[in-house]
Amino acid sequence: MKKLKVFVVVLAVFMFMGPWAFAAETIKIGVPLAMTGAYAGSGDNYWKGIEMATNEINQSGGLLGKQIEIIRFDSQEFAPEVVMQGADYLCGKMKVTSVHAGWAGWGQDIRAYGKYDAPFFCDDGAMPSVDVYKSNPEKYYNTYFITDTGGDQANSMFDMLTALPYEYPNKKIVIINTDDAWGIEVGDTLSKRFKKIGWKVAKRETVPYGTNEWGPILTKIRRINPAIIHVEIPSSQEVITFFRQFIKQPTNSILSYGWSITPLEVLATMGKDADGIVGEMPAGMPAPIAPDAKAQAWVDKYMDTYKHTIPAGSWIAYTSVMAWADAVKAAGDEYDFKAVNKHLKEVGYDGLQGKIKFGENNTIHAQPAAPIVHYQVQNGQLVALYTDPPIKPYKDYKFQVPRWIK
Amino acid sequence: MVLILSGFYCVMGIMPLFFGNTAYIMNILIMILIWAVVASCWDVIMGFAGIFSFGQVAFYVIGAYASAILSVSLGIPPVFTIIMAGVITGVIGVLVGLPCLKLAGPYVALVTFAVHMTLIPFLRGPLGRAIGSGGSQGILTIPPINLLGFAFSSEQLVPFFYLTLFLTIICTLILALIIKSYWGTAFLALKDSENFATSLGISAFKYKLMVFGITSFITGLFGALYAHYVGMLSTKMLSMDVFTILMIMMVIGGIGKYPGVVVGAVITVTINQLLAPLGMYRPLIMGAIVVVLVLFLRDGVIGLAQKFSPLQQKTG
Amino acid sequence: MVFEIIDVIISGLINGSVYALMAVGLTLVYGVTKAFNFAYGSFYNMGGYFAWMLLIPLGMIGGYFSVFFIAIPVFFVVGYLLEKILVSPLRKYDDWEMKVMMLTLGLSLFMDFGYQAVFGPRIKSLPGMIEGTLELGQVVLFRQDIVIFILSVGGMLCFGWLLNNTRTGMAVQAVAQNPAGAKIVGIPKDFIFAATFAISTIMVGFGGILLCQKNFVDPMGSTNIMIKAWVITAFGGMGSISGSLYAAFILGMLEAFVGWHFGMIYVQIATLTLLLVTLTIRPRGLMGRE
Q: How far A333 CA sits from the closest chain C CA (Å)?
A: 37
Asked if C113's CB is within 8 angstroms of A207's CB, the reply is: no
Q: For residue B149, is pLDDT > 90?
A: no
* CA gyration radius, chain A: 22
Q: Which of A2, A4, A115 to mutate to test the interface with B (most CBs of B within 10 A)?
A: A4
Q: What is the mean pLDDT of residues A236-247?
A: 92
Task: State how far the alpha carbon of B283 is from the alpha carbons of A81, A217, A311, C204, in Å.
Answer: 17, 37, 27, 23
- Domain residues of chain C, as ranges? 22-222
Instruction: Report the chain A residue with the minimal C-alpha distance to residue B7.
Output: A5
Give the least confident one: B157-161, B280-284, B304-308, C130-134.
B304-308
User: Which pLDDT score is estimated for B311?
Assistant: 52
Q: How confident is the model at residue B316 (pLDDT cuts 50, 70, 90)?
A: very low
ipTM of this model? 0.90
Residue B272 and residue B251 share a domain: yes
Same structural domain for residues B189 and B244? no
pLDDT at A167: 93
Clarify whether residues B154 and B259 are in a common domain: no
Candidates A7, A16, A81; nearest CB to B31: A81
**C112 close contact with B: CB closer than 8 A:** yes
Q: Do A80 and B239 touch (CB under 8 A)?
A: no
Where a domain ends, among B207, B222, B238? B238
Q: Which of A33, A213, A243 to mutate to test the interface with C (most CBs of C within 10 A)?
A: A213
Query: Which chain C residues are within 8 Å of B290, Cβ to Cβ?
Result: 102-103, 105-107, 109-110
**Quick one: pLDDT at residue B309?**
65
Average predicted confidence (pLDDT) for chain C: 87
In a domain, B90, yes or no: yes
The rounded distance, in Å, linking the Cα atoms of A287 and A373 is 9
Same domain, B261 and B232: no
For residue C286, what pLDDT band results from cuts at 50, 70 and 90?
Answer: confident
Please state the rounded mean pLDDT for residues A351-370: 91
The verdict on a CB contact (< 8 Å) between A219 and C7 is yes
- Which phi and psi angles does A385 have, rounded to 5°? -95, -45
Last residue of one domain, picked from the residues B206, B238, B270: B238
- Asked if the model's pLDDT at residue B49 lies above 60, the reply is yes
Statement: residue B152 has pLDDT above 70: yes
Residue A229: give the domain boundaries: 152-283+372-393
Q: Do residues B172 and B316 share a domain?
A: no
Cβ <8 Å between A208 and C7:
no
In a shared domain, residues B69 and B100: yes
Chain A residues lying within 8 Å of B239, measured CB to CB: 37, 77, 79
Chain B nearest C-alpha distance from A92 (Å) = 6
In a domain? residue B3: no
Residue C163 pLDDT greater than 90, yes or no: no
> How many residues does the structure list for chain C?
290
Using the Cβ of A298 and the Cβ atoms of chain B, whether some distance falls under 8 Å is answered with: no
What total of structural domains would you count in chain A? 2
Give the Cα separation of C32 and C288 in Å (integer): 13
Identify the domain containing residue B272 by its residue range: 240-316
> Lowest-confidence range among A10-19, A275-284, B256-265?
A10-19
CB B31 within 8 A of CB A31: no
Residue A12 pLDDT: 53
Residue A403 lies in a domain: no
Chain C residues close to B251, C-beta within 8 Å? 102, 106
Specify the pLDDT at position B222: 95
Q: Which residue of C has its CA nearest to A246?
A: C140
Spell out the long-range contacts of B147-153 with Cβ–Cβ below 8 A and sequence spacing 24 or more: B147/B79, B152/B228, B153/B228, B153/B229, B153/B231
Both B192 and B102 in one domain: the answer is: yes
Whether A109 and A58 share a structural domain: yes
Q: A230 vs chain C: nearest CA distance in angstroms?
A: 16
CA distance C178 to B114: 29
Which H or E element spans position B148? none
Q: What is the DSSP string of chain C?
A: -HHHHHHHHHHHHHHHHHHHHHHHHHHHHHHHH----TTHHHHHHHHHHHHHHHHTTS--TTHHHHHHHHHHHHHHHHHHHHIIIIIGGGGGSTTHHHHHHHHHHHHHHHHHHHHHHHH-SS-B-PPPSS--EEEETTEEEEHHHHHHHHHHHHHHHHHHHHHHHSHHHHHHHHHHH-HHHHHHTT--HHHHHHHHHHHHHHHHHHHHHHHHHHS-B-TTTHHHHHHHHHHHHHHH-TT-HHHHHHHHHHHHHHHHHHHHHT-GGGHHHHHHHHHHHHHHH-TT-SS---
Residue B216 belongs to a domain: yes
- Can you name the residues that pair with B233 across neighbouring β-strands? B139
Do the domain assignments include residue A298?
no
Is A239 inside a domain boundary? Answer: yes
Residue A68 shares a structural domain with residue A130? yes
Q: What is the DSSP letter of B143?
A: P
Q: Contact A122/A340 with Cβ under 8 angstroms? A: no
Q: What is the CATH number of the domain that holds A122?
A: 3.40.50.2300
Q: Judge if A268 and A324 occupy the same domain.
A: no
- State whether A88 and A118 are in the same domain: yes
Digit-coded pLDDT (tens) for A37-59? 778 888 999 999 999 999 999 99
Burial C233-263 (b: 16+ CB within 10 A, else e): bbbbbbbbbebbbbbbbbbbbbbbbbbbeeb
pLDDT in tens, A174-227: 999 998 888 999 999 999 999 999 999 999 999 988 888 898 899 999 999 999
- Name the band, by pLDDT with cuts 50, 70 and 90, for residue A24: low
Least Cα separation, residue C122 to chain A (angstroms): 6
Residues B191 and B274 in one domain: no
Question: b or e along B244-279 (b: 16 or more beta carbons within 10 Å of the residue's beta carbon)?
Answer: bbbbbbbbbbbbbbbbbbbbbbbbbbbbbbebbbeb
CA nearest to A207 within chain B? B125
**Do B198 and B246 fall within a single domain?**
no
Residue B11 placed within a domain:
no
- Cα–Cα distance for residue pair C164/B59, rounded to 1 Å: 43
- Rounded mean pLDDT, A147-162: 94
Same domain, residue pair B117 and B66: yes
Quote the pLDDT of residue A6.
56
Q: What backbone phi and psi angles, to 5 degrees, belong to A281?
A: -140, 125
Residue B315's pLDDT band (boundaries 50, 70, 90)?
very low
Residue A238 within a domain: yes
Contact A3 B308 (CB under 8 A): yes
Instruction: Give the H/E segment covering residue B76.
Output: none
Residue of C nearest to A203 (CA): C263
- Whether residue A2 is predicted with pLDDT greater than 60 in this model: the reply is no
Is A402 part of a structural domain of the chain? no
Distance CA A114, CA A395 (A): 41
Cβ separation A215–C256 shorter than 8 A: yes
Please report residues of A whose CB lies closer than 8 A to that of B274.
15, 18
Q: What is the 3-state secondary structure (H, E, C) of chain A?
A: CHHHHHHHHHHHHHHHHCCCCCCCCEEEEEEEECCCCCCHHHHHHHHHHHHHHHHHHHHCCCECCEEEEEEEEECCCCCHHHHHHHHHHHHHHCCCCCEEEECCCCCHHHHHHHCCCCCEEECCCCHHHHHHHHHCCCCCCCEEECCCCHHHHHHHHHHHHHHCCCCCCCCEEEEEEECCHHHHHHHHHHHHHHHHCCCEEEEEEEECCCCCCCHHHHHHHHHHCCCEEEEECCCHHHHHHHHHHHHCCCCCCEEECHHHHCCHHHHHHHHHHHCCCEEEECCCCCCCCCCCHHHHHHHHHHHHHHCCCCCCCHHHHHHHHHHHHHHHHHHCCCCCHHHHHHHHHHHCEEECCEEECCCHHHECCCECCECEEEEEEECCEEEEEEEECCCEECCCCCCCCCCCCC
Task: Describe chain B by its helix, strand, coil percentages, rounded to 5.
Answer: 80, 5, 20
Q: Are C108 and C45 in contact (CB under 8 A)?
A: no
Least confident of A126-135, B178-187, C2-11, C176-185: B178-187
Contact B7, B241 (CB under 8 A): no
Quick check: C290 contacting B, CB < 8 Å?
Answer: no
> Of the candidates A386, A260, A351, A274, which has an alpha carbon nearest to the alpha carbon of residue A312?
A260
Shared domain check, A329 and A272 = no
Which range has the worst mean pLDDT, A55-64, B36-45, C169-178? C169-178
Looking at the fold, whether B107 and B190 belong to one and the same domain comes out as yes
pLDDT of residue A13: 52
Residue in C with minimal Cα distance to A42? C122
Q: Tell me: do A166 and A243 sit in the same domain.
A: yes
Of B133 and B189, the structure prediction assigns the larger pLDDT to B133
Q: Could you tell me if A18 lies within 8 Å of chain B, comparing CB atoms?
A: yes
pLDDT per residue as tens digits for the range C235-271: 888 888 888 889 999 999 999 999 999 988 888 889 8
Residue B105 has pLDDT above 90, yes or no: no
Q: Is the same domain home to A34 and A101?
A: yes
Whole-number average pLDDT of chain A = 89
pLDDT at B304: 77
B193 touches chain C (CB under 8 A): no
Identify the band that residue A4 occupies on the pLDDT scale cut at 50, 70 and 90: low
Non-local (6+) Cβ contacts of A148 within 8 A are: A125, A156, A282, A363, A364, A365, A366, A372
Q: Do A386 and A263 reside in the same domain of the chain? A: yes
- The domain total for chain B is 2
pLDDT the model gives residue C252:
93
Residue A15 lies in a domain: no
Percent of chain A with pLDDT over 90: 63
Would you state the pLDDT for residue A175?
Answer: 97
**Encoded amino acid at A392, one letter:** K
More confident residue, A143 or C93: A143
Backbone angles phi, psi at A253, to 5 degrees: -125, 145
Closest listed residue to residue A102, CA positions, set A192, A23, A41: A41
Instruction: Give A243's Cβ-side CA count (13 Å radius).
Output: 27
Task: Report CA torsion sign: C192, C197, C200, C205.
Answer: negative
Q: Does residue A211 share a domain with residue A128?
A: no
Q: Which band of pLDDT confidence, cut at 50, 70 and 90, is reported for residue C182?
A: confident
Burial grade of C277 (CB within 10 A; 0-12, 13-18, 19 or more): exposed
Domain check: are A268 and A340 in the same one? Answer: no
Rounded to whole angstroms, the Cα distance separating A46 from A100 reads 9
Looking at the predicted structure, is the pLDDT value of residue A150 above 80?
A: yes
- At residue C171, the pLDDT reads 86
Q: Is B61 left (phi over 0), alpha (psi -120 to 50) or beta?
A: alpha
| B281 touches C at CB < 8 Å | yes
Residues A131 and A185 in one domain: no
Does C40 reach chain B within 8 Å, measured CB to CB?
A: no
Contact status of B57 with chain C (Cβ, < 8 Å)? no
* A18-35 average pLDDT score: 74
Which of B196, B211, B238 corresponds to the end of one domain?
A: B238
Residues B250 and B161 in one domain: no
Higher pLDDT, A181 or B81: B81
CB contact under 8 A, C116 and A36: yes
Instruction: Pick the closest to residue A243 from A224, A257, A228, A264 (CA basis).
Output: A257
| Judgement on whether residues A319 and A382 belong to the same structural domain of the protein | no
Nearest to C106 among B109, B125, B287 (CB): B287
**Residue A184 in contact with residue A165, Cβ under 8 Å?**
no
What average pLDDT is seen over chain B?
Answer: 84
Contacts of A106 in chain B (CB under 8 A): 137-138, 140, 234
